[in-house]
């Protein structure tokens, strides 16, 4: 059995386990934890499209994540737009924000690209915290972010909303799998491997990077909107650079450049965060230490370790 087959089996097992969570009458705390994992996993697989596939390390994804959350909140509460159209609009806002950031950030590469995305995202954070407080609520944020009203189902019931998250997650996962296997995904891999040669054989490298950034921004916007709805609340903290750091740690921990890796990374990160925070307020430092050890001893992340152990030989992560 190849590692790709093992990866599909692992993915099917993860999805089946997620579907069974409410069936086994999990506690509200467990349901909330897995809901967070679903939302952050959607964010992480979108982030990995440019980080793992195109080799672009963005420190500015918090701006795309938070913008999606604010877009849904304002559209539903202020403009009276329905939840599903607002959710789609949140993704579009994330993609538009990514397009705006890419106009400046793609003028440079490497470390300078990372620092420029960080600076631009912090600018968005400051604007939301101060200058735009009439719309964003400033540092106090906006409470009362609604949930969908569909087919007479009460999505304020956490179990019903959990199934809604599963549907969105599976659709997002399937679309991302198709994108990664498409000529577009292979072109992004070619750009990561050698952007000079990719340009020489006819790829428009900047256009590919910009398109990848926008698709990643769409995923970030949708996941930010879902998190705001899950928590009934949004604040500028979603736009802070630490949010970008969290999704980076999750992706590296699970294994960048894979579809399974970011999901594993999110699950491990959220579970450790939940457990460690019960014993110490310095849980973030412990997570940082785990992240450092992982980058040293598991360069391909947990997905790479899983592939080697399952296949009984070194191999590419699924």
pLDDT in tens, 231-271: 999 999 999 999 999 999 999 988 888 888 899 899 999 99
**Is 90 part of any domain?**
yes
- Write out the residue range of the structural domain in which residue 207 sits: 27-239
126-136 mean pLDDT = 89
pLDDT for residue 3 = 58
Where b means 16+ CB within 10 Å and e means fewer, 278-306 reads eeeeebbeebeebbeebeeebebbbbbbb
pLDDT for residue 100 = 92
pLDDT for residue 313 = 54
Helices (H), the chain: 3-23, 28-48, 61-77, 83-105, 110-126, 133-136, 158-181, 183-193, 195-200, 205-231, 241-254, 260-276, 283-297, 301-311
pLDDT band at 318 (very low <50, low <70, confident <90, very high): very low
What is the Cα–Cα distance from 53 to 134, expressed in whole angstroms? 39
Q: Is the pLDDT reported for residue 129 higher than 50?
A: yes
Q: Which residues pair with 150 in a beta bridge?
A: 153
Q: Is 298 helix (H, G, I), strand (E, B) or coil?
A: coil
Q: Total domain count for the chain?
A: 1
Q: Is the pLDDT reported for residue 215 higher than 80?
A: yes
User: Among 2-6, 120-124, 203-207, 246-250, whose mean pLDDT is lowest?
Assistant: 2-6
What is the Cα–Cα distance from 47 to 220, expressed in whole angstroms? 7
pLDDT for residue 6 = 67
pLDDT band at 198 (very low <50, low <70, confident <90, very high): confident
* Whether 136 contacts 70, CB under 8 Å: yes
pLDDT for residue 212 = 94
Q: Which residues pair with 149 in a beta bridge?
A: 154
Which residue did the predictor score with more confidence, 291 or 66?
A: 66
pLDDT band at 224 (very low <50, low <70, confident <90, very high): very high
Where b means 16+ CB within 10 Å and e means fewer, 257-273 reads bbbbbbbbbbbbbbeeb
**Is 102 part of any domain?**
yes
Percent of the chain with pLDDT over 70: 93
* Whether 203 contacts 187, CB under 8 Å: yes
pLDDT for residue 227 = 96
**Is 251 part of any domain?**
no
Q: Is the pLDDT reported for residue 306 higher than 90?
A: no
**Is 119 part of any domain?**
yes
In 3D space, the residue among 50, 54, 9 whose CA is nearest the CA of residue 307 turns out to be 9
Q: Is 116 helix (H, G, I), strand (E, B) or coil?
A: helix
**Is 58 part of any domain?**
yes
What does the angle CA 4 – CA 16 – CA 245 come to, to the nearest 5 degrees? 70
pTM: 0.90
Segment holding 233, helix H or strand E = strand 233-234
pLDDT band at 276 (very low <50, low <70, confident <90, very high): confident
**Is 182 part of any domain?**
yes
Q: Distance of alpha carbon 285 from its chain centroid, rounded?
A: 22
The overall average pLDDT reported for the chain is 87
**Is 278 part of any domain?**
no
Cα within 13 Å of Cα(274), Cβ side: 14
**Is 63 part of any domain?**
yes
């Amino acid at each position: 059995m190849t590692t790709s087959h093992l990866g599909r089996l692992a993915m099917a097992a993860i999805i089946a386990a997620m579907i069974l969570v409410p069936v086994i009458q999990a506690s509200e705390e467990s349901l909330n934890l897995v809901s967070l994992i679903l939302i952050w996993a959607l964010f992480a697989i979108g982030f990995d499209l440019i980080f793992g596939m195109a080799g672009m390390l963005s420190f500015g994804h918090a701006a795309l994540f938070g913008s999606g959350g604010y877009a849904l909140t304002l559209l539903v509460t202020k403009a009276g737009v329905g939840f599903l159209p607002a959710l789609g609009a949140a993704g579009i806002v994330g993609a538009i924000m990514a397009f705006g950031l890419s106009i400046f950030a793609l003028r440079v590469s490497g470390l300078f690209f990372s620092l420029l995305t960080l600076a631009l995202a912090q600018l968005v954070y400051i604007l939301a915290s101060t200058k735009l407080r009439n719309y964003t609520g400033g540092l106090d944020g906006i409470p009362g972010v609604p949930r969908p009203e569909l087919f007479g189902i009460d999505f304020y019931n956490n179990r019903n909303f959990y199934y809604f998250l599963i549907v969105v997650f599976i659709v997002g996962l399937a679309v991302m799998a198709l994108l990664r296997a498409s000529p577009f995904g292979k072109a992004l891999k070619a750009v990561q491997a050698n952007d000079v040669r990719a340009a020489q054989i006819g790829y428009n490298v900047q256009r590919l990077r910009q398109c990848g950034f926008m698709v990643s921004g769409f995923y970030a916007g949708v996941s930010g909107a879902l998190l705001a709805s899950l928590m009934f609340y949004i604040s500028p903290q979603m736009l802070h650079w630490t949010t970008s750091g969290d999704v980076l740690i999750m992706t590296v921990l699970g294994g960048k450049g894979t579809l399974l890796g970011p999901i594993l990374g999110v699950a491990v990160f959220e579970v450790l965060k939940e457990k460690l925070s019960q014993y110490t307020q310095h849980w973030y430092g412990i997570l940082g230490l785990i992240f450092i050890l992982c980058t040293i001893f598991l360069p391909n992340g947990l997905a790479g370790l899983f592939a080697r152990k399952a296949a009984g030989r070194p191999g590419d992560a699924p």
